[in-house]
């Protein structure tokens, strides 16, 4: 297949990869946003109407925020009365372990199946991996939406929820790894829409959180809306992926590496035969040497290790980016209190807007920026240097007004400092992570690009896991 590639008409392939990126993270983001719904259903005392029991901080928050409220409630051994005048009950044992179990059931399958995908992608067709993963996640969210309307005892509900988390992250890991592997076959700029779609997923979830607070809707209604929306997005992703193989632009690049390998294999075979004829001496040593030296097999059957050696800088960089990011966001960043809000409405919206919405909007902007600018280049030392420099955000956020604190002083007390740090923190996360994911598969041969993409996805997941581990350390230091 020679000549120039066909055009990507109406940017259809770019848009499909964007929708697929959105489909990989939006369901899980909505699941996290509905954490308060899950913890309320786990309360052992069913005499209190948990759906109407909203405290001043809002009704739907991610895991870390829910755990913050749970910790506050668990300080007393009896029911408390919040500023709204409604009674709250202390969290049950299932609520107290929910966050840790959720993290464990999410991170372990994510790491295991992302790593597994690096090896099975050559044995299981890409269509099977992606479509089966999307269908499985869709079914899990349909069940989750149905269970919103079903009364259930806390323990069975807890077990079912954890099983769903395992399934979502297991199939999500295979889906994400397969998508990045697939994008590795296309030009570098086509990894950017996946990253951009994932960034938009977080923005949607943050906006949904703020809308839920503003509307004062019941947890049950908000959660049901999240899960149904997730199902619709997954259906859009399935439809987009079905259309993808019919587009000339995608077909050209998805078959290009196979065509190039067939040409290369024939060329190598010809060279091998010529070498054997030239070196076919009575001395059998030379014949053996020519066979061993001319075999093209190692060049095609590239091991995962040999490919990793070519991309280890990009892999380590994307891992470090997310280790730093998840290390402080949201474990440290949600603990920051406004110093200017007082009793105003800003106190209620400070974290949802300044933390979650600001992070997701500028993270999305950073990811999307790679569609128009990809500086520095894939071989530049500036890229890993910029990744390492981001470590400065860890002490910056720890020195903001994060409460409670026992060791460090507050140096950046004003809300403006926190928002400025958050803007640069989030846009650098999106931009540098997207650059690494784009460049990784382009540092190897075309027939190695898919494997390189799955390796990059594994190190992205590894960064998330390491960040979650370090977040406990950073929070304890404050």
Q: What is the mean pLDDT of the chain?
A: 81
What does the pLDDT average to over 154-183? 93
Q: How far apart are CA 350 and CA 57, in angstroms?
A: 10
For residue 317, name the pLDDT band (cuts at 50, 70, 90): very high
Range from 149-153, 391-395, 436-440 that averages highest in pLDDT: 391-395
What does the pLDDT average to over 67-78? 38
Q: How far apart are CA 467 and CA 103, in angstroms?
A: 12
Confidence (pLDDT) at 345 = 85
For tokens 């209604």, the residue is 221
Q: Are 54 and 84 in contact (CB under 8 A)?
A: yes
pLDDT at 64 over 60: no
Q: How far apart are CA 183 and CA 175, in angstroms?
A: 12
Q: Are 63 and 35 in contact (CB under 8 A)?
A: yes
For tokens 């089966």, the residue is 132
Range from 21-35, 382-396, 454-468 that averages highest in pLDDT: 382-396
pLDDT at 262 over 80: no
What does the pLDDT average to over 384-395? 96
The fraction of the chain above a pLDDT of 90, given in percent, is 43
Q: How far apart are CA 385 and CA 380, in angstroms?
A: 9
Decide which of 189 and 129 is more confident: 129
Q: How far apart are CA 452 and CA 315, in angstroms?
A: 9
Confidence (pLDDT) at 61 = 35
Decide which of 218 and 63 is more confident: 218
The fraction of the chain above a pLDDT of 70, given in percent, is 79
Q: Are 177 and 118 in contact (CB under 8 A)?
A: yes
Confidence (pLDDT) at 442 = 87
Confidence (pLDDT) at 301 = 55
Confidence (pLDDT) at 256 = 58
pLDDT at 81 over 60: no
What does the pLDDT average to over 458-473? 90
Confidence (pLDDT) at 244 = 93
For residue 294, name the pLDDT band (cuts at 50, 70, 90): very low
pLDDT at 258 over 70: no
What separation, in Å, do the N-terminal and C-terminal C-alpha atoms of the chain show?
59
Element (H or E) spanning 88, and its range?
strand 87-88
- Kindly report each contact of residues 292-300 with a partner whose C-beta sits within 8 Å and lies 24 or more positions away, as own/partner: 294/268, 296/264, 296/265, 296/268, 296/269, 296/272, 299/264, 299/268, 300/261, 300/264, 300/265, 300/447
Q: Are 395 and 410 in contact (CB under 8 A)?
A: no
pLDDT at 56 over 50: no
Ranges 118-132, 249-263, 421-435, 446-460: which has the least confidence: 249-263
pLDDT at 444 over 90: no
| Burial class of 207 by CB neighbour count within 10 A (0 to 12, 13 to 18, 19+) | middle
Confidence (pLDDT) at 44 = 57
For residue 143, name the pLDDT band (cuts at 50, 70, 90): very high
Q: How far is CA 14 from the centre of its chain?
A: 19
Confidence (pLDDT) at 291 = 41
Residue ranges of the domains in the chain? 9-246+302-477, 252-300
In sequence order, which ranges of 51-191 are alpha helices (DSSP H)?
Answer: 63-74, 93-120, 126-148, 154-183
Decide which of 28 and 46 is more confident: 28
pLDDT at 270 over 90: no
What does the pLDDT average to over 437-446? 88
Decide which of 322 and 100 is more confident: 322
For residue 212, name the pLDDT band (cuts at 50, 70, 90): confident
Q: What is the CATH number of domain 9-246+302-477?
A: 1.20.1250.20
Q: Whose CA is closest to 189, among 383, 432, 442?
A: 442
Confidence (pLDDT) at 165 = 93
Q: Whose CA is closest to 302, among 310, 290, 294?
A: 310
For residue 21, name the pLDDT band (cuts at 50, 70, 90): very high
What does the pLDDT average to over 322-331? 92
For residue 86, name the pLDDT band (cuts at 50, 70, 90): very low
Which residues on neighbouring strands pair with residue 412, listed in sequence order? 400
pLDDT at 475 over 70: yes
Ranges 103-107, 180-184, 289-293: which has the least confidence: 289-293
For residue 348, name the pLDDT band (cuts at 50, 70, 90): confident
What does the pLDDT average to over 463-471? 90
Confidence (pLDDT) at 66 = 41
């Amino acid at each position: 297949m020679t000549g120039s590639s066909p055009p990507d008409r109406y940017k259809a392939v770019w848009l499909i990869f964007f929708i697929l990126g959105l489909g990989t993270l939006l369901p899980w983001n909505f699941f996290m946003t509905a954490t308060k719904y899950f913890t309320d259903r786990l309360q052992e005392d069913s005499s209190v109407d948990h759906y109407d029991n909203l405290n001043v901080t809002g009704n739907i928050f991610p895991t870390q925020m829910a755990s913050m409220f749970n910790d506050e409630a668990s300080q007393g051994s009896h029911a408390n009365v919040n500023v709204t005048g409604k009674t709250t009950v202390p969290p049950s044992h299932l609520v107290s372990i929910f966050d840790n179990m959720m993290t464990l059931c999410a991170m372990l399958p994510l790491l295991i199946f992302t790593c597994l995908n690096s090896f099975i992608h050559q044995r299981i067709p890409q269509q099977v991996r992606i479509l089966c993963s999307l269908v499985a996640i869709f079914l899990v969210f349909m069940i989750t939406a149905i269970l919103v309307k079903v009364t259930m005892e806390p323990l069975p509900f807890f077990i079912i929820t954890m099983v769903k988390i395992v399934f979502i992250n297991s199939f999500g890991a295979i889906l994400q790894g397969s998508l990045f592997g697939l994008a590795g076959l296309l030009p570098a700029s086509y990894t950017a829409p996946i990253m951009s779609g994932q960034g938009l997923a977080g923005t949607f979830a943050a906006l949904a959180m703020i809308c839920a607070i503003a509307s004062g809707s019941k947890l049950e209604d908000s959660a049901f809306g999240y899960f149904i929306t997730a199902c619709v997005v997954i259906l859009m992703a399935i439809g987009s992926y079905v259309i993808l193989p019919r587009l000339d632009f995608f077909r050209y690049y998805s078959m290009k590496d196979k065509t190039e390998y067939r040409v290369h294999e024939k060329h190598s075979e010809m060279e091998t035969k010529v070498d054997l004829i030239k070196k076919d001496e009575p001395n059998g040593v030379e014949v053996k040497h020519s066979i061993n030296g001319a075999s093209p097999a190692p060049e095609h059957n590239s091991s995962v290790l040999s490919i990793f050696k070519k991309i280890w800088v990009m892999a380590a960089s994307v891992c470090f980016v997310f280790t730093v990011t998840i290390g402080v966001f949201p474990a440290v960043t949600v603990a920051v209190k406004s110093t200017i809000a007082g009793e105003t409405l800003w106190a209620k919206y400070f974290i949802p807007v300044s933390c979650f919405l600001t992070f997701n909007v500028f993270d999305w902007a950073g990811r999307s920026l790679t569609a128009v600018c990809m500086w520095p280049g894939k071989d530049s030392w500036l890229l890993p240097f910029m990744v390492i420099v981001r470590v400065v955000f860890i002490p910056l956020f720890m020195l903001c007004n994060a409460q409670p604190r026992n060791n460090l002083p507050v140096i950046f007390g004003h809300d403006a400092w926190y928002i400025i740090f958050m803007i640069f923190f989030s846009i650098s996360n999106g931009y540098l992570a997207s650059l690494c994911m784009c460049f990784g598969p382009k540092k190897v041969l075309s027939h190695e690009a898919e494997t390189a993409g799955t390796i990059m996805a594994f190190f992205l997941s590894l960064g998330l896991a390491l960040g979650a581990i370090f977040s406990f350390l950073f929070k304890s230091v404050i």
